[in-house]
Structure 1
Amino acid sequence: MTCQCVVEGFEGTMLKNLSMHRSEALVHLLREANERKSPIERYFCSMDRLIQVLLAETRWTVYGIVIYLVVSGSLINTVAAEVHMQTYTYKQVRDLEIKANVYRQDDKKIRPVVVWIHGGALIMGGRDGINGRVKKMFLDAGYTIVSIDYRLAPETKLPAIIEDVEDAFRWIREKGPELFHIDNSRIAVLGGSAGGYLTLATGHRVKPRPTVLVAFWGYGDLIGEWYSKPSPHPRHQRSKMSEDEARKQVDGPPIANSRDRKGNGGAFYQFCRQRGIWPREVSGWNPNIEAKKYEPYMPVNNVTKEYPPTLLIHGTEDTDVPYEQSVMMADQFKKFCVDHELITIAGGEHGLAGGDPGKIDSAYEKAFQFIHERMNRR
């Protein structure tokens, strides 16, 4: 049961019992409600508009109130019940299955798709780590969401990680319409931190290019001093271990989700930041003498006028991924006349922690609007 069915049901039955004047008014108001951007907004706006007209007819007053309460409650339960998640294997490398979770309304309607790419310094994380706000916003608006795994460093190096992301998009475009009923001409990409980096990388690595990107506290540079020199920040000094201990954390077979690693990837990341060796451990290349090898994988070096519209969101006090990383990307977008915006959260740490809650809420709302507007341009 969808709100469209509810609305059509009212138009098809109750309108027969309303006066001509009230019927025309209701149809007009329902059409107005249907212009709202979110399905839930449309649903409840439709109910509000309906009750306006029903209450104007004395004989419908009590009936209208009952209908409103019953239908409103059923809509809440219906929307929640309709969300369906299924896990697919989009790629297999020897014995390793690389998977994606697909979330969508449990129907066969063709829907645009949002791809979520998790963070974790390319070392940690997995497809279940989808941003809760992003998930709710886009599911409520009727989008399908695909949250992907990819092989993790240091067991797997950067070129193969990027290859996994490229293959995930190829699978979404080729198999998505049949498997989970998407419009593969409308693909948005979102990710945070290292997922923000990979989101930006899709703008030049994935062909055809995605429709629109949103990078939360991401980065476009892999070899700057912020990553290739020892970090002075307390957040990177939380655990200390010897090199032997650190390497034992990640000495197993390739994985595509950190829950499958026997060791502690977070401790290994701390070790990398303390030593300033993250670029080398993730790629296998020494950034001081092999910088050229990184260039094909660095979004900041690969912006052209064909780059997709991009929204950047970053806190000014981020000590894990410097705010300047988003500023650098914005400068490149401006240089090449790429449709873009940079939302700055004053005082925000990594993940916007410590920023003004109202401004953070506004940033997420802007992310939705930025994507929704560009996904619906024809």
Structure 2
Amino acid sequence: MSGGKHTHVYKTVNDCRIQADVSHSSHNAATLVYFHGGALISGSRTMLPDEQIDLYMQAGFNVVSVDYRLAPETKLPIIAEDIRDAIRWVRTEAADLYRFDPDRIAFAGGSAGGYLALLAGTGIDGYRPKAVVSFYGYGDILGDWYTQPSEFYCRMPLISQNRAYGCVGGAERSEGSRDRRDFYWYCRQNGVWVQEVTGYDPVKDRLQLLPYNPIDQISSDYPPTLLLHGTDDTDVPYEQSLMMHEQLHKAGVDSKLITMDGAGHDFDKNETDPSVKQAFASVVRFLQEHV
């Protein structure tokens, strides 16, 4: 198979079909596996803009954008299993179907997807990619920024518990609309994202959560990593990428941090901005160098 975008079901759990979109560039080429954002609560594989897919494909990469089951119906340990199975599917069935090189794979993602890319870089299922790219992601889910009420979100209209829980619940799902964001706002206003998404208490269950905290799982064989973050990000603090960069550097890992001065969350969606274009050129060079 070649050309265009093809959708596949890579995993089915009960009635939940978990899908991946494959944009095929060429045989025996490197592949970029992309994880979408949405705080692990909302979003889908379709959030990766076509302009970005085209950019990566023109650089010679196949692109696979994957779904995973969403919280709070599915908790983080099970979401991590979906990520593991997605990676396994890319390296086996998809590699056979599209003649990917199963050893030339990079992980990338934005926000919560950046977190998943960083987590997968620690070696889910024993496999480490050739490189990781995180757009305004985070390596520490146990910090105060996520376990305490957010000053930024508390300035917004308060979301009641009834309204928040009215947005979620029921059957497991792998795609979530923007309507679910009220639940995320509630989590940030009350500092309960970790409990709601993981099923664990960040204090009492810290040991159980450490395997899902990338900054605590860095070793010298962690893949080369590129982090991009805006200094005015009001959702994920810029310090999250700075801390991750410093820890990677201490471990002797090839790590680069691109600081987007004055940029906020989702800055990469503004592809016409000259600084964003320059950032993407750096991403492509980084991937071509390492994958």
Q: Same fold (TM over 0.5)?
A: yes
User: Does 2:132 correspond to 1:213?
Assistant: yes
User: Shift of the alpha carbon at 1:358?
Assistant: 2.5
User: Shift of the alpha carbon at 1:238?
Assistant: 4.2
Q: CA RMSD in A?
A: 1.9
> Residue in 1 aligned with 2:283?
367
* Secondary structure of 2:227's aligned partner: strand
Change in 2 beyond 3 A, CA 1:355/1:300: farther
> Residue in 2 aligned with 1:4?
none
* Secondary structure of 2:263's aligned partner: coil
> Residue in 2 aligned with 1:5?
none
- What are structure 1's unaligned runs of at least 5 residues? 1-81
User: Shift of the alpha carbon at 1:142?
Assistant: 2.6
- 1:223 counterpart (130, 133, 142): 142
Matches within 5 A, 1:151-190: 151-190=69-108
Change in 2 beyond 3 A, CA 1:210/1:355: closer
What does the per-residue CA deviation read over 1:258-288, in whole Å, with 9 as the maximum and x for residues that have no partner? 14xxx92111101111111111100111112
User: Does 2:288 correspond to 1:288?
Assistant: no
User: 1:117 touches 1:127 (CA, 8 Å); kept in 2?
Assistant: yes
> Residue in 2 aligned with 1:36?
none
* Secondary structure of 1:285's aligned partner: coil
How far apart, in 2, do the equivalents of 1:299 and 1:133 lie?
A: 29
> Residue in 1 aligned with 2:14?
94
Alignment: residue pair count: 288
User: Shift of the alpha carbon at 1:244?
Assistant: 1.6
Q: Which has the higher helix share?
A: 1
User: Shift of the alpha carbon at 1:131?
Assistant: 3.7
User: 1:345 touches 1:356 (CA, 8 Å); kept in 2?
Assistant: no
Q: Give the counterpart letter for 1:96 in structure 2.
A: C
User: Shift of the alpha carbon at 1:341?
Assistant: 0.3
User: Does 2:259 correspond to 1:339?
Assistant: no
> Residue in 1 aligned with 2:193?
278
User: % of aligned pairs identical?
Assistant: 41
How far apart, in 1, do the equivalents of 2:207 and 2:107 lie?
A: 27
User: Does 2:165 correspond to 1:247?
Assistant: yes
User: 2:122 touches 2:222 (CA, 8 Å); kept in 1?
Assistant: yes
- 1:264 counterpart (176, 179, 182): 179
What does the per-residue CA deviation read over 1:158-197, in whole Å, with 9 as the maximum and x for residues that have no partner? 0000110011101111112221221111001110000000
How far apart, in 2, do the equivalents of 1:264 and 1:290 lie?
A: 30
* Secondary structure of 1:196's aligned partner: helix
User: Shift of the alpha carbon at 1:340?
Assistant: 1.1
Q: Give the counterpart letter for 1:195 in structure 2.
A: G
User: Shift of the alpha carbon at 1:239?
Assistant: 4.7
Matches within 5 A, 1:1-378: 83-105=3-25, 109-206=27-124, 207-234=126-153, 237-259=155-177, 264-352=179-267, 357-375=273-291
What does the per-residue CA deviation read over 1:188-241, in whole Å, with 9 as the maximum and x for residues that have no partner? 11100000000101111322211111000000011211111111115x654533
> Residue in 2 aligned with 1:33?
none
Q: Give the counterpart letter for 1:111 in structure 2.
A: A
Larger Rg: 1
User: 2:210 touches 2:216 (CA, 8 Å); kept in 1?
Assistant: yes
* Secondary structure of 1:326's aligned partner: helix
How far apart, in 1, do the equivalents of 2:60 and 2:272 lie?
A: 29
User: 1:239 touches 1:267 (CA, 8 Å); kept in 2?
Assistant: no
Q: Give the counterpart letter for 2:88 in structure 1.
A: R
User: 1:135 touches 1:145 (CA, 8 Å); kept in 2?
Assistant: yes
Structure 2-normalised TM-score?
0.94
How far apart, in 2, do the equivalents of 1:131 and 1:298 lie?
A: 28
Change in 2 beyond 3 A, CA 1:356/1:237: farther
Q: Give the counterpart letter for 1:199 in structure 2.
A: A
Change in 2 beyond 3 A, CA 1:157/1:172: same
How far apart, in 2, do the equivalents of 1:169 and 1:247 lie?
A: 31
Change in 2 beyond 3 A, CA 1:355/1:110: closer
User: Shift of the alpha carbon at 1:349?
Assistant: 1.2
Structure 1-normalised TM-score?
0.73
Q: Give the counterpart letter for 1:215 in structure 2.
A: S
* Secondary structure of 2:19's aligned partner: strand
Q: Give the counterpart letter for 2:4 in structure 1.
A: H
